[in-house]
Amino acid sequence: MIDVRGRLGAALFDRVAGPDGARERDRIHGRPGPRLYEPGSPVTRVHGDASMFVGGIRALLLQTLHPAAMRGVAEHSGYRGDMWGRLARTSTFIATTTFGHVEDVERSIAVVRRIHERVTGTMPDGTPYAASDPHLLRWVHVAEIDSFLRAHTVYGKEPLRGAERDEYVAQTAEVARRLGVLDPPTTEDELREAVASYRPELRGTPEAREAVRYVLVHPPLPLAARAPYAVLVAAAVGLMPAWTRPPLRLPWLPVSERTVVRALGVAATGTIRWAMRPGRPVADS
């Protein structure tokens, strides 16, 4: 049983972190020097927890609802042919900015900003879009942070309480500002209001529904990893607000989501947490 748990955890780590994940992890955590955040602070607790597997999928689903953000992904991203590559790059960025040396943080942010400058295009109605647009960047940020916090609340080992939740939102605003976000939320109430403020702009476009189907139904996974991945997907969908379900054609099964899905999600994140705990070599899992 232990060997099975280890293999599943290692397989999921390899998919999310990429083939160089172990080396990147050693580089991020092993380089001595100053960090943006103190060890044990809310942002390190959230971003270092296995609940991020669920939160990351939820963030991806939520972000597709903004037509301009989804258009940029559809026209400039290789998510169909390189979904795991994109996921690995995103997870490495989050790990670097959360746990890495400040010089690596600045370098990673500069790379992302250069990429954003190249992502431009036109909406079907002729309206231009740009990934560097502060308003669009703010949507991507609040969708991520809302998802990470919600997933950690349900599936985290030690969920944040009280003022820690506001501190987490405020800490994540630091990187958001450096990426070009104007006025990122700094409290949980502000985060909730920010998500709500975008609702008039959100809708389920054909591109969004195609991306959702690809991520949920047709991920390029080996057979052994499909069952645990399906559990993580179900857990992520279970955390999506009710108003997001119709436009993305997501199921709405509140009773099952609060019972069966949640129990399976707790088991899955517990397995990942066990397999990836400090001191456990991924290669030996």
The DSSP letter of residue 192 is H
Q: What is the pLDDT of residue 162?
A: 95
Tell me the DSSP string of 255-272.
Answer: HHIIIIIHHHHHHHHHHH
Over residues 148-168, the mean pLDDT reads 96
Q: Which of 43-52, 216-225, 262-271 has the lowest mean pLDDT?
A: 216-225
* 230-247 pLDDT tens trace: 888 889 999 999 999 999
Note every long-range contact of 166-169, with CB atoms under 8 Å and residues 24 or more positions apart, other chains counting. Answer: 167/41, 167/42, 168/42, 168/43, 168/46, 169/145
> pLDDT class for 46, splitting at 50, 70, 90?
very high
> pLDDT class for 283, splitting at 50, 70, 90?
very low
> pLDDT class for 268, splitting at 50, 70, 90?
confident
Residue pointed to by tokens 């250069």:
114
> pLDDT class for 17, splitting at 50, 70, 90?
low
Beta bridge partners of 101: 35
CA separation for the pair 116, 277 (Å, rounded): 34
Amino acid, single-letter form, for residue 93: F
